[in-house]
Amino acid sequence: MPHTDFLIIGAGSAGLACALELAALGQVTVLSKGPLEVSASDWAQGGIAAVLPGSDDSIAQHVADTVRAGAGLCEPARVHAILSAAPAAIQRLLDWGTRFDREGESWQLTREGGHQARRVLHRADHTGRAITRALLHCAQANERIQLRANTLVGALQQDDTRLSGVWLRHGDGAWESLRARVVILATGGLGQVYRHTSNPNVATGDGIALAWRAGAEIRDLEFVQFHPTTLYSPGEPAFLLSEALRGEGAVLRLPGGERFMDQYDARGELAPRDVVSRAIIREMQKHRLPYVELDIRHAPAQLMVEHFPTITAHCRARGLDPRSSALPVVPAAHYSCGGISVDARGRTGVPGLYAVGEVASTGLHGANRLASNSLLECIVVAHDVFADLAGGPTLPDLPRAEARPPKAMPPLADTDLALRRQALQDLLWEKVGILRDQRGMAAALAQLQDWAAETPWPAQQLPSSRADLEWHSLLRNALLITQGAVQRHESRGCHHDQDYPQLQEPARHLRQRCDWSRLQTSAVGHAGASVASCALPDEKRP
């Protein structure tokens, strides 16, 4: 019976950091849905925020900036704990082979929106790649770590009251059981729910859907952060233009040359991402524009060559040169601030199941993530998971009984999933995007419920293909986002409801959990179609 001690689903910075730490405790298996090198972490450009010893900055100031951006939903104790752990996290990254840019004997620090100080370490404009490739190199060299690429996880296995493994498939093979003492979700985000996203195509929210089906609590999923500046190039994949560009002086303009950010926020282009994204969308609507422009032509030419080589090369490949022309930009879905609710050790509440990275809601980000905090969170919380498993009670024995294969679902042959997926992305972009209203969200929810009724996913069954799995993941995430957004009668952080433009106090989390007993007795009779069965409790704890 195939088994491992620690099973990690996801091979981005969070998953690989967990693997490197947990290898000290036992055998580790890391699963990646696509190639090992493809993850949102690998695409991260800006950097990793950290207050290091000897700087003029302070943890208190970093905490204040984070809490301010989080709009009342950060958990201050968790914020302080995670940000205080930055020096140790950076040292672990250095020990694993990551290299950051220096100026002489000092770190070269940049500043991003919402930060009062320069505290972002980076490696040119490909920091995420520098981190993940260093971690991947270490993991490949570790005999206790097995890395499996192009492996689809169809469902989590549960024995009695504890998680015991997963059902997985490599390539087009048959479903197989892999048993584990502990399962850790590090699957990243859900940006593919939207028409415009900076996320890779593997970011379909699979971890959220898996955890929801296993009974874990999902909270605040309506807070989806949109990055203000992706390169506008119709017909091409979205390409992120790092916030560090604005940190180095880039400004936003209308195509006629007029700046507009000062009308929306005294911090101008360095306002938090939700403020900048809404300002851009409003200007696009007001002037009926397909894009606005990002202008860094006034900066020294050498700045782009030395600090932003990836961006410069990509723009040139598309016939643009940031040193001589303004760049057309549009906002795009970038980061899920909510996720699977976890405690200070990464535990989900489902015995044997942990979550780390973007898929988790740790209390750090609140209603809006402060730029460059997420890579730090990955490394810190991975260590928290390790500390919990190293210092906790004895790990459970591996299950002895052979797992019984679930029934395979028939293919969704009557549904053109490519067209349906595009329709879902358009629906969420238009109705549950940067600017929302109750009428649009209600229409979106009704359509999502219809699709769920047409394409159910019964309990104890596995999808027939990756396309089917991703459709169900996208649909479940879209439902959770929209349900939360409809019930949050306020505007806070990333969530801006034009019918409720003010904050509602006190701040509250919105929590959702699957109740299979109610799902089985719902009018439709299956998990995919029942929405009322996952109603949100009136949770008002800050």
Catalytic residue status for 273 = yes
Cα 224 → chain centroid: 9
In whole angstroms, give the CA distance from residue 205 to residue 472.
Answer: 10
Pick the catalytic residue: 119, 273, 369, 476? 273
Check if the beta carbon of residue 21 is closer than 8 Å to that of residue 28. no
Residue 228 and residue 233: Cα distance in Å, rounded?
15
| Of residues 325, 371, 428, 373, the one with CA closest to residue 227 | 371
Q: How far apart are CA 360 and CA 339, in angstroms?
A: 5
Q: How far is CA 486 from the centre of its chain?
A: 21
In angstroms, rounded to a whole number, what is the distance separating the alpha carbons of residues 385 and 370?
23
Torsion of CA 446, 450, 455, 457, to 10 degrees: 50
**How does DSSP classify residue 409?**
P
Among 331, 112, 113, smallest CA distance to 240 is for 331
Helix (H, G, I), strand (E, B) or coil at 162: strand
Residue type (1 letter), 432? V
- What is the Cα–Cα distance from 183 to 262, expressed in whole angstroms? 47
Give the pairing type, strands 48-49 and 120-121. Answer: antiparallel
d(CA 338, CA 190): 11
CB 456, CB 524: distance < 8 Å: yes
Q: How many CB atoms lie within 10 A of CB 403?
A: 17
Tell me the backbone φ, ψ of residue 409, rounded to 5 degrees.
-75, 150
Q: 539: which 2 tokens?
A: 């949770």
Q: Which residues are catalytic?
A: 273
